[in-house]
Every structure is written in C-alpha cells, then in structure tokens.
C-alpha cells in the first residue's frame, strides 16, 4: 500500500466516524415538544354555532307556517312554547305504535310521560333562564334535572339531555355564553302535565 491509499483510507474512516457521531448526537437530543392544543373557544360566536348546528331551534324556537312550509319563527327565537297558545288535551290513540305527538309549533309534546313544553332559553329574569348560573345550566344538561338541582323535576322528553350532557365543558360554556347575549323574551311556559290529566 502506498501513502496516498493509506491517507485516503484514513480520511474515509474519519469521515465515516464523523457522520456516525453526528447521527448519534442527533438521536440523543430531546424530541421536540408536542404541539399545543388550541385554546378552548368559549366565545358566544362559538356558542351560536353550536346552538344552530345542534338543533336547539327545532324545539325551543316556536315554528310558524312560512312560504316554504313550517320554519322556526326567529322573532321568538329560543323562547319556548308560546304562553298565548293553550292546548287541548292530546288524543293519544290506544294500542297505537305512536309514542309521541307534537303541537304545530313544535314546542309541546305529548306521550306516556304526559305533556311537556319546551323551555324559554332566553335570559328573561322571570320566565327564561335569566336567574340561572352557568353551573346550573351545565348541571341540568348533565343530570336531566330542571335547574340542575337533584330536588327539581325531571327534564322530560323529547329533550335529549343525555346527548347534550356528553358535550364537553367548553362547549356547554360557549352555549351558555351565547344564550346570555340573545334578547330576553317574556314568555312563561306552562308547567308539564302529568299523564292522565
């Protein structure tokens, strides 16, 4: 072997050693931190999006007949069953496969539980949820109890509180924040009617 070949071999070995050292030093560095989760969106705008996309207007906003058929009456947005619309007792057919009947406004429902009326969700102090707290609102949806207290009446069908209760706290807080911003509407809904009355 001549000197040039030896030097070339030494240079190749040194370069390979340097490459291995660089690779190993890169492996010993701490991994980069995981990306941060986006901040929770508790804004009323996000709450409005959730209310609009989760069917709240389907029952809590009275419906009226429009040019294209029944539609929510947004002048009474989320105000519940109209107080000025008393209903006769429902005629539920015996031995029928039907388990529920709805009023024309889509705000009153009759079934084996009796008659239920959709709640006024506006921040009216006397007839809506104006005196409720955020905790009461969240607890009501988690427990199925009116005003979120164990001693209160049950939230009746067709309100799917079991599904809404699965929403995370941030989503429920955003809905609450939005409900605090809508116009209060004075509308006292009737008390539920027990079955057979």
Question: If you average pLDDT over residues 14-27, what whole number do you get?
Answer: 52
User: Sorting pLDDT into bands at 50, 70 and 90, what band is 111?
Assistant: confident
Instruction: Quick: pLDDT tens for 23-35.
Output: 555 555 667 777 7
Closest CA to 159 of 197, 125, 189, 124: 189
**Chain segment 60-96, per-residue pLDDT in tens:** 999 999 899 999 999 999 999 999 998 888 776 777 7
Distance of CA 11 to the CA centre of its chain: 67
Give residue 79's pLDDT.
98
Mean pLDDT confidence for 103-129: 94
Listed in order, strand segments (DSSP E) in 31-85 are 63-66, 69-72
- Count of other CB atoms within 10 angstroms of residue 170: 13
Which is nearest to 74 in space by CA: 189, 188, 185, 176?
185
Residue 42 contacts residue 170 (beta carbons within 8 Å): yes
Distance CA 73, CA 77 (A): 7
**What span, in angstroms and rounded, lies between the C-alpha atoms of 172 and 180?**
12
> By mean pLDDT, which of 4-8, 57-61, 130-134, 140-144 is the weakest?
4-8
Lowest mean per-residue pLDDT among 25-34, 68-77, 114-123, 149-158: 25-34
Q: What number is the average pLDDT over the span 160-175?
A: 96
**What is the arithmetic mean of pLDDT over 144-166?**
95
Structure confidence at residue 145 (pLDDT): 97
């Amino acid at each position: 072997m001549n000197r040039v070949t030896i030097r070339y071999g030494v240079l190749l070995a040194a370069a390979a050693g340097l490459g291995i050292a660089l690779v190993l030093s890169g492996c010993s560095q701490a991994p980069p931190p995981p990306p941060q989760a986006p901040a929770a969106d508790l804004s009323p705008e996000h709450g409005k999006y959730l209310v609009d996309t989760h069917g709240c207007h389907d029952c809590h906003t009275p419906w009226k007949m429009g040019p294209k058929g029944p539609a929510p009456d947004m002048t009474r947005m989320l105000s519940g069953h109209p107080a000025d619309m008393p209903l006769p007792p429902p005629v539920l057919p015996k031995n029928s496969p039907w388990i529920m009947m709805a009023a024309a406004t889509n705000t009153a429902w009759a079934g084996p539980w009796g008659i239920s009326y959709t709640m006024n969700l506006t921040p009216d102090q006397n007839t809506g949820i104006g005196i409720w707290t955020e905790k009461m609102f969240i607890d009501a949806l988690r427990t199925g109890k009116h005003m979120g207290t164990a001693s209160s009446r049950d939230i009746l069908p067709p309100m799917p509180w079991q599904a809404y209760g699965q929403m995370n706290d941030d989503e429920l807080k955003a809905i609450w924040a939005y409900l605090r911003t809508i116009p209060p509407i004075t509308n006292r809904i009737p008390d539920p009617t027990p079955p057979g009355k």
